[in-house]
Protein backbone atom coordinates (compact mmCIF):
# COMPACT_ATOMS: atom_id res chain seq x y z
CA UNK A 1 0.00 0.00 0.00
CA UNK A 2 2.80 2.39 0.91
CA UNK A 3 4.56 1.53 -2.33
CA UNK A 4 1.36 2.20 -4.29
CA UNK A 5 0.88 5.58 -2.58
CA UNK A 6 4.51 6.43 -3.28
CA UNK A 7 4.05 5.66 -6.98
CA UNK A 8 0.91 7.80 -7.04
CA UNK A 9 2.71 10.67 -5.34
CA UNK A 10 5.66 10.31 -7.73
CA UNK A 11 3.28 10.33 -10.68
CA UNK A 12 1.63 13.54 -9.48
CA UNK A 13 5.05 15.11 -8.86
CA UNK A 14 6.18 14.30 -12.39
CA UNK A 15 2.91 15.63 -13.78
CA UNK A 16 3.29 18.96 -12.01
CA UNK A 17 6.94 19.11 -13.08
CA UNK A 18 5.83 18.72 -16.70
CA UNK A 19 3.16 21.39 -16.21
CA UNK A 20 5.62 23.88 -14.71
CA UNK A 21 8.17 23.17 -17.45
CA UNK A 22 5.52 23.72 -20.11
CA UNK A 23 4.42 27.02 -18.57
CA UNK A 24 8.01 28.26 -18.41
CA UNK A 25 8.62 27.30 -22.04
CA UNK A 26 5.32 28.74 -23.28
CA UNK A 27 4.85 31.71 -20.95
CA UNK A 28 3.51 33.98 -23.68
CA UNK A 29 0.85 31.50 -24.80
CA UNK A 30 -0.21 30.75 -21.22
CA UNK A 31 -0.49 34.48 -20.43
CA UNK A 32 -2.52 34.95 -23.61
CA UNK A 33 -4.76 32.10 -22.45
CA UNK A 34 -5.26 33.77 -19.07
CA UNK A 35 -5.95 37.12 -20.78
CA UNK A 36 -8.57 35.52 -23.01
CA UNK A 37 -10.07 33.85 -19.93
CA UNK A 38 -10.39 37.18 -18.11
CA UNK A 39 -11.87 38.84 -21.21
CA UNK A 40 -14.36 36.01 -21.63
CA UNK A 41 -15.32 36.19 -17.95
CA UNK A 42 -15.95 39.93 -18.04
CA UNK A 43 -17.86 39.61 -21.32
CA UNK A 44 -20.20 37.09 -19.68
CA UNK A 45 -20.63 39.36 -16.67
CA UNK A 46 -21.41 42.28 -18.98
CA UNK A 47 -23.95 40.13 -20.80
CA UNK A 48 -25.70 39.33 -17.54
CA UNK A 49 -25.56 42.95 -16.37
CA UNK A 50 -26.89 44.21 -19.73
CA UNK A 51 -30.19 42.36 -19.28
CA UNK A 52 -30.95 44.12 -16.00
CA UNK A 53 -31.84 47.57 -17.43
CA UNK A 54 -34.06 45.86 -20.00
CA UNK A 55 -35.87 43.87 -17.30
CA UNK A 56 -36.32 47.00 -15.17
CA UNK A 57 -37.72 48.93 -18.13
CA UNK A 58 -40.18 46.19 -19.09
CA UNK A 59 -41.31 45.82 -15.47
CA UNK A 60 -41.90 49.61 -15.39
CA UNK A 61 -40.17 49.96 -12.07
CA UNK A 62 -40.05 53.33 -10.36
CA UNK A 63 -36.77 55.14 -9.80
CA UNK A 64 -36.66 53.93 -6.21
CA UNK A 65 -37.05 50.31 -7.38
CA UNK A 66 -34.34 50.34 -10.05
CA UNK A 67 -31.30 48.13 -9.63
CA UNK A 68 -27.90 49.77 -9.11
CA UNK A 69 -26.78 48.42 -12.47
CA UNK A 70 -29.71 50.20 -14.14
CA UNK A 71 -28.86 53.48 -12.41
CA UNK A 72 -25.27 53.23 -13.65
CA UNK A 73 -26.62 52.40 -17.10
CA UNK A 74 -28.80 55.53 -17.06
CA UNK A 75 -25.84 57.70 -15.99
CA UNK A 76 -23.69 56.33 -18.82
CA UNK A 77 -26.47 57.02 -21.34
CA UNK A 78 -26.79 60.57 -20.01
CA UNK A 79 -23.06 61.12 -20.59
CA UNK A 80 -23.63 60.04 -24.20
CA UNK A 81 -26.68 62.32 -24.53
CA UNK A 82 -28.98 59.31 -24.86
CA UNK A 83 -32.20 58.45 -23.05
CA UNK A 84 -33.15 55.32 -21.15
CA UNK A 85 -35.60 53.69 -23.55
CA UNK A 86 -36.51 50.22 -24.73
CA UNK A 87 -34.43 50.82 -27.87
CA UNK A 88 -31.24 51.73 -26.01
CA UNK A 89 -31.75 48.86 -23.56
CA UNK A 90 -32.15 46.32 -26.37
CA UNK A 91 -29.21 47.83 -28.28
CA UNK A 92 -26.86 47.53 -25.31
CA UNK A 93 -28.03 43.98 -24.65
CA UNK A 94 -27.43 42.96 -28.28
CA UNK A 95 -23.95 44.51 -28.20
CA UNK A 96 -23.23 42.59 -25.00
CA UNK A 97 -24.38 39.35 -26.66
CA UNK A 98 -22.10 40.02 -29.64
CA UNK A 99 -19.14 40.78 -27.37
CA UNK A 100 -19.77 37.61 -25.35
CA UNK A 101 -19.88 35.50 -28.52
CA UNK A 102 -16.65 36.99 -29.85
CA UNK A 103 -14.92 36.55 -26.49
CA UNK A 104 -16.11 32.93 -26.33
CA UNK A 105 -14.79 32.20 -29.81
CA UNK A 106 -11.45 33.85 -28.98
CA UNK A 107 -11.13 31.90 -25.73
CA UNK A 108 -12.02 28.64 -27.47
CA UNK A 109 -9.46 29.27 -30.24
CA UNK A 110 -6.65 30.11 -27.82
CA UNK A 111 -7.67 27.22 -25.56
CA UNK A 112 -7.51 24.72 -28.45
CA UNK A 113 -4.19 26.17 -29.58
CA UNK A 114 -2.83 25.82 -26.07
CA UNK A 115 -4.11 22.23 -25.77
CA UNK A 116 -2.57 21.30 -29.11
CA UNK A 117 0.69 22.96 -28.12
CA UNK A 118 0.74 20.87 -24.93
CA UNK A 119 0.34 17.72 -27.01
CA UNK A 120 3.16 18.80 -29.33
CA UNK A 121 5.41 19.64 -26.38
CA UNK A 122 5.00 16.16 -24.91
CA UNK A 123 5.22 14.32 -28.24
CA UNK A 124 8.24 16.29 -29.43
CA UNK A 125 10.08 15.76 -26.15
CA UNK A 126 9.25 12.06 -26.20
CA UNK A 127 10.46 11.72 -29.78
CA UNK A 128 13.80 13.35 -29.03
CA UNK A 129 14.23 11.25 -25.88
CA UNK A 130 13.40 8.10 -27.88
CA UNK A 131 16.22 8.66 -30.36
CA UNK A 132 18.68 9.77 -27.68
CA UNK A 133 18.36 6.40 -25.91
CA UNK A 134 20.11 4.62 -28.81
CA UNK A 135 19.55 1.44 -30.80
CA UNK A 136 19.73 -0.95 -27.84
CA UNK A 137 16.71 0.64 -26.21
CA UNK A 138 14.86 1.05 -29.52
CA UNK A 139 15.31 -2.61 -30.45
CA UNK A 140 13.90 -3.66 -27.09
CA UNK A 141 10.60 -1.86 -27.73
CA UNK A 142 7.71 -3.23 -29.78
CA UNK A 143 5.72 -1.02 -32.13
CA UNK A 144 2.63 -1.49 -29.97
CA UNK A 145 4.39 -0.07 -26.93
CA UNK A 146 5.77 2.82 -28.96
CA UNK A 147 2.39 3.62 -30.49
CA UNK A 148 0.64 3.41 -27.13
CA UNK A 149 3.21 5.70 -25.53
CA UNK A 150 3.13 8.35 -28.22
CA UNK A 151 -0.63 8.29 -28.72
CA UNK A 152 -2.70 7.09 -25.77
CA UNK A 153 -0.39 8.02 -22.89
CA UNK A 154 0.64 11.37 -24.35
CA UNK A 155 -3.01 12.18 -25.05
CA UNK A 156 -3.91 11.35 -21.45
CA UNK A 157 -1.19 13.59 -20.05
CA UNK A 158 -1.96 16.49 -22.40
CA UNK A 159 -5.66 16.03 -21.67
CA UNK A 160 -4.90 16.20 -17.96
CA UNK A 161 -2.96 19.46 -18.30
CA UNK A 162 -5.64 20.98 -20.51
CA UNK A 163 -8.32 19.73 -18.12
CA UNK A 164 -6.68 21.49 -15.18
CA UNK A 165 -6.55 24.77 -17.10
CA UNK A 166 -10.20 24.42 -18.13
CA UNK A 167 -11.20 23.60 -14.56
CA UNK A 168 -9.43 26.73 -13.30
CA UNK A 169 -11.12 28.84 -15.98
CA UNK A 170 -14.54 27.41 -15.10
CA UNK A 171 -14.05 28.12 -11.39
CA UNK A 172 -13.02 31.71 -12.12
CA UNK A 173 -15.96 32.35 -14.43
CA UNK A 174 -18.51 30.78 -12.09
CA UNK A 175 -17.11 32.78 -9.16
CA UNK A 176 -17.44 36.04 -11.09
CA UNK A 177 -21.00 35.27 -12.11
CA UNK A 178 -22.16 34.13 -8.69
CA UNK A 179 -20.62 37.22 -7.10
CA UNK A 180 -22.56 39.45 -9.47
CA UNK A 181 -25.75 37.48 -9.01
CA UNK A 182 -25.72 37.44 -5.21
CA UNK A 183 -24.73 41.11 -5.07
CA UNK A 184 -28.04 41.89 -6.74
CA UNK A 185 -30.80 39.69 -5.35
CA UNK A 186 -32.23 36.22 -5.26
CA UNK A 187 -34.55 37.15 -8.12
CA UNK A 188 -31.68 38.34 -10.28
CA UNK A 189 -29.80 35.15 -9.44
CA UNK A 190 -32.67 33.21 -11.00
CA UNK A 191 -32.58 35.49 -14.05
CA UNK A 192 -28.82 34.95 -14.27
CA UNK A 193 -29.22 31.18 -14.30
CA UNK A 194 -31.83 31.42 -17.06
CA UNK A 195 -29.57 33.66 -19.15
CA UNK A 196 -26.66 31.27 -18.65
CA UNK A 197 -28.84 28.43 -19.92
CA UNK A 198 -29.81 30.48 -23.00
CA UNK A 199 -26.15 31.44 -23.57
CA UNK A 200 -25.15 27.77 -23.51
CA UNK A 201 -27.76 27.02 -26.18
CA UNK A 202 -26.50 29.91 -28.31
CA UNK A 203 -22.88 28.82 -27.93
CA UNK A 204 -23.80 25.27 -28.92
CA UNK A 205 -25.02 26.62 -32.26
CA UNK A 206 -21.36 27.14 -33.14
CA UNK A 207 -20.86 23.37 -33.25
CA UNK A 208 -21.32 23.27 -37.02
CA UNK A 209 -18.35 25.61 -37.44
CA UNK A 210 -16.27 23.57 -35.03
CA UNK A 211 -17.17 20.37 -36.91
CA UNK A 212 -16.05 21.89 -40.21
CA UNK A 213 -12.75 23.02 -38.74
CA UNK A 214 -12.26 19.59 -37.17
CA UNK A 215 -12.56 17.93 -40.59
CA UNK A 216 -9.82 20.19 -41.97
CA UNK A 217 -7.67 19.52 -38.92
CA UNK A 218 -8.08 15.76 -39.39
CA UNK A 219 -6.64 15.90 -42.91
CA UNK A 220 -3.52 17.77 -41.85
CA UNK A 221 -3.35 15.60 -38.73
CA UNK A 222 -2.85 12.53 -40.93
CA UNK A 223 0.24 14.14 -42.45
CA UNK A 224 1.54 14.99 -38.98
CA UNK A 225 0.97 11.41 -37.81
CA UNK A 226 2.93 10.09 -40.78
CA UNK A 227 5.81 12.46 -40.01
CA UNK A 228 5.88 11.08 -36.47
CA UNK A 229 5.42 7.33 -36.87
CA UNK A 230 7.28 6.72 -40.14
CA UNK A 231 10.70 7.62 -38.68
CA UNK A 232 9.86 5.80 -35.44
CA UNK A 233 9.07 2.59 -37.35
CA UNK A 234 12.28 2.94 -39.34
CA UNK A 235 14.47 3.97 -36.43
CA UNK A 236 17.38 1.72 -37.45
CA UNK A 237 17.66 3.32 -40.87
CA UNK A 238 17.19 6.79 -39.39
CA UNK A 239 20.05 6.34 -36.93
CA UNK A 240 22.25 4.46 -39.41
CA UNK A 241 22.14 7.33 -41.87
CA UNK A 242 22.21 10.04 -39.21
CA UNK A 243 18.74 11.31 -40.12
CA UNK A 244 17.30 11.70 -36.62
CA UNK A 245 17.63 15.50 -36.71
CA UNK A 246 15.94 15.58 -40.12
CA UNK A 247 13.08 13.45 -38.77
CA UNK A 248 12.70 15.79 -35.81
CA UNK A 249 12.73 18.91 -38.01
CA UNK A 250 10.25 17.36 -40.46
CA UNK A 251 7.90 16.60 -37.59
CA UNK A 252 8.23 20.21 -36.42
CA UNK A 253 7.41 21.52 -39.91
CA UNK A 254 4.34 19.29 -40.15
CA UNK A 255 3.24 20.53 -36.72
CA UNK A 256 3.48 24.16 -37.81
CA UNK A 257 1.61 23.37 -41.03
CA UNK A 258 -1.07 21.58 -39.03
Distance in angstroms (rounded) separating the CA atoms of residues 161 and 50: 34
Per DSSP, helices labelled H in 26-85 are 27-58, 68-79
pLDDT in tens, 109-124: 888 888 888 888 888 8
Beta carbons of 141 and 50 less than 8 angstroms apart: no
Beta carbons of 49 and 69 less than 8 angstroms apart: yes
Distance in angstroms (rounded) separating the CA atoms of residues 32 and 28: 6
Sign of CA pseudo-dihedral 215, 35, 178, 95: negative
Q: In which band, very low, low, confident or very high, does the pLDDT at 228 lie, cut at 50, 70 and 90?
A: confident
What pLDDT sits at residue 158?
Answer: 74
Beta carbons of 162 and 110 less than 8 angstroms apart: no
- The residue with greater pLDDT, 251 or 186, is 251
Distance in angstroms (rounded) separating the CA atoms of residues 57 and 254: 56
Of 128, 123, 148, which is closest to residue 18 (Cα–Cα)?
123
Burial level of 48, CB count in 10 A (0-12/13-18/19+)?
A: buried
Per DSSP, helices labelled H in 133-185 are 134-139, 143-148, 154-184
Asked if the model's pLDDT at residue 4 lies above 50, the reply is: no
DSSP state of 141: S
Asked if the model's pLDDT at residue 2 lies above 60, the reply is: no
What pLDDT sits at residue 38?
Answer: 84
Which range of 61-65, 98-102, 199-203, 227-231 scores highest in mean pLDDT? It is 98-102
Asked if the model's pLDDT at residue 101 lies above 60, the reply is: yes
Beta carbons of 188 and 59 less than 8 angstroms apart: no
Asked if the model's pLDDT at residue 1 lies above 50, the reply is: no
Buried/exposed code over 110-142 (b: 16+ C-beta within 10 A; e: otherwise): bbeebbbbbbbbbbeebbeebbeeeeeebeeee
Buried/exposed code over 83-99 (b: 16+ C-beta within 10 A; e: otherwise): ebeeebbeebbeebbeb
Cβ-proximal residues to 130 (8 Å cutoff; 6+ apart), any chain: 138, 146, 232, 235
What pLDDT sits at residue 211?
Answer: 55
pLDDT in tens, 192-217: 677 767 776 766 666 556 656 655 66
What pLDDT sits at residue 229?
Answer: 73
Beta carbons of 126 and 157 less than 8 angstroms apart: no
Distance in angstroms (rounded) separating the CA atoms of residues 202 and 196: 10
Domain ranges of the chain: 2-205
Amino acid sequence: MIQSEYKTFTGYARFWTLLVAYVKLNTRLVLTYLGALILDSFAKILLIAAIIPLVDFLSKSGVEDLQKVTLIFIDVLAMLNMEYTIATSVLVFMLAVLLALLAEILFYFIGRKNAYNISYYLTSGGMRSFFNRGLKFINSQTFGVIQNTFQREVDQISGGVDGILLMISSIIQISFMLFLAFSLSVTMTTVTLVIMFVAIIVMSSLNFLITKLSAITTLSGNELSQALFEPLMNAKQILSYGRSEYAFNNHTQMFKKH
